[in-house]
Structure 1
Amino acid sequence: MTSTPSPAAGAPDELQRRLGVSDAVMIGLGSMIGAGIFASLAPAARAAGSGLLIGLALAAVVAYCNATSSARLAALYPASGGTYVYGRERLGAFWGYLAGWAFIVGKTASCAAMALTVGSYIWPGQAHAIAVAAVMALTAVNYTGVQKSALLTRIVVAVVLAVLAAAAVASLTSGAADATHLDVGADATFSGVLQAAGLLFFAFAGYARIATLGEEVRDPARTIPRAIPIALGITLVVYATVAVSVLLVLGSGSLAAAGAPLTDAAWAADAHWLAPVVRVGAALAALGSLLALILGVSRTTLAMARDHHLPHALAAVHPKFKVPHRAELLVGAVVAAAAATADLRGAIGFSSFGVLAYYAVANASAWTLTPAERRLARTIPVLGLAGCLVLAFALPASSVISGAAVLTVGAAAYGLRRLTNMT
């Protein structure tokens, strides 16, 4: 197997190598620290109870293996498409297709989860209606070609970090904080902790953005492997601090029942002034994530439609706005329907199943690397692959059944297309 060559030095389409380690770390933080932490704490607490923090650590370990495997593959295959390309080149066309299909269905569910997060924090009583309105508005924004700028990304990250810091400080310094709530594992089960890890994996989504910077960083062979653990480490510290602070004031039982955990924590900590700030911060983070997710899913749909893995009509590009308008409208309609009918925990579980399947293919692809291709220590892709499979099947039964069913439908469609082409 040979890798796709990088653009020749000085070629017109070559990206400039301007990013250092700190730049790559910031991009990773911008991709990870977002609305996921606002949405996933309650479902995870429902599964693991006081074992929530153990589940968070397990999710971080699997995320590290996945990101490291993706980084090595991205250096060899700098073309866009991610694991859709890696699986195709290393394992065969079917596995590349399955990875792309898993990405689309998983990230579509992520869109629904982000939309529901917007609704839960803005107007809990009308969460579904607000979620559908958010999807429709952002689909319209994407349709006209307006994209989230780098400056907007930094602003969103700064606001989210400020809100998380304020919520953590208010909770940690509150008289309502009770250290007995941190009796880790007192009411947890092994299966519950694994399920929580699978749900919390949703909060780390985006870390592989670092792995796609191979053509844009200086000395990528050193920069990317250094940036990944730093960004993941910072994110884990932020998430652990927030989780501990919320657990201290709410306890695992109240956290599990919370519709908007950080808002409830602000009220429990007697920081009433902070509650509307948290609502705005969470909604802003979720809207930013939703905008980027709809954009990403529609582009992957475009790529697969061009390869005839999806209806070729979805590959159409609008003559004026220069966007894949049919793909964007379809994605928007599917996400709106999901946001109108699904619950947040179900959307997170389904999303995690699809994305874990996607990274299972990435780890299996990384395992095939040879010493000449500067392969990783074999323990990393093996641990990543095992972790993805274990966490995927530890998710709530409804998420596993629906996720497996959708992947089976995708595989059947692939087989049917192959048979049709052969006749």
Structure 2
Amino acid sequence: MLSSKLKNITPSYTIGISTKVKELKSQGQDIINLSIGEPDFFTPIAAKNSAIEAIHMNKTKYDAASGLLDLRKAIQNKLQVENNISYALDEIIISSGAKHAITNTLIALLDYEDEVIIPKPFWVSYPEMVKLAGGKPVFVDTQRENNFKVTPQDIQNALTPRTKMIFITNPSNPTGAIYSREELKDIVDICLKNNIYILADEIYEKICYVDSFVSIASLSEEAKNITITINGLSKSVAMTGWRIGYSASNNILAKAISTVQGHLVSHPSTISQWAGVSALTSCQKEMIEMVHTYKSRRDIAVEELKQIKDIDFIYPEGAFYLFIDISALKNKLTWSDSFSVAFSNILLNQAKVAAVPGIAFGMDDFIRISYACDTKELLEGINRIKSFIKNL
């Protein structure tokens, strides 16, 4: 009786892992959870106080489908000052998280069987979101020597008359890789030549350890016109549960996205949006401190992982993940359908460490661990991984 659309939808690996971790912890087991894709910080005080004030001021009525004017103004200013992109207010749409912003965009743009290029490794929900919107995900292999960043030739090889869009995740989840200005310009050029939209998922933009982050839409007016910039407050201001994301795009597309959202959810919680205003205008110090902490943990984790034989990893320039190559261990385990799932399950059951199998990102020779956790816990988790691999 269920919709046929669900027949090809893969359940979330990360949710499945989280459920298993909670179950094991409830049994009293000492689990080190390195699978979490969520900041371990709390939402800054100024943002929380703004939400409380909004409640007491009865700011709890319906508002514009595109989002609170004050929040869109704050985002408009952020994009201008930090990213050098000038958007009109009606080109910015507030959504219930960045995931929702992506879904709105896919519904607004895709016709049935339109193809969307998804470079591997990819964030776990991209293919399923495309399928639910009626599109067809087209996976593109990328190269380890290029830190798994997609190239114009990779894109060219995947093009068909049905290609409508490409996902560019910058910084990357799961690798932490960041595209240079030159790399992005080359991608924009081939997309302009072939009339392809770019969905620029920049949710980890603030968690950047280099000085060279470039937003795709800032490259030129032509780039801006074909780019849908996706961002939000979940990662940068530790506001995952508040569910505030946004898209910025050309006027015609923004109007379509607003129409979609207006019919499906009206708008995000007004209380969350008022918290978002303060997050963007009053919490810069907290955001900077979070990034400093992540960078320190990154450096510590990298040095520890270098000591483990038979593994390799992508050196992350952003986000808070390490994508670890475990392919050299294949002959040390018994597995059938998925090597990374088998490895992750045994790691959890024997070493009591939770990691995300690389198959969730389209790469079965890898696992992903997160350093969005206490440093002591991170070190203990890596030490357990080291012992586990040594004893295989």
Interval of TM-score (by shorter of Structure 1 and Structure 2): 0.3 to 0.5
| TM-score normalised over the length of structure 2 | 0.33
| TM-score normalised over the length of structure 1 | 0.31
When you count helix as a share of all residues, which structure comes out higher? 1
When you count strand as a share of all residues, which structure comes out higher? 2
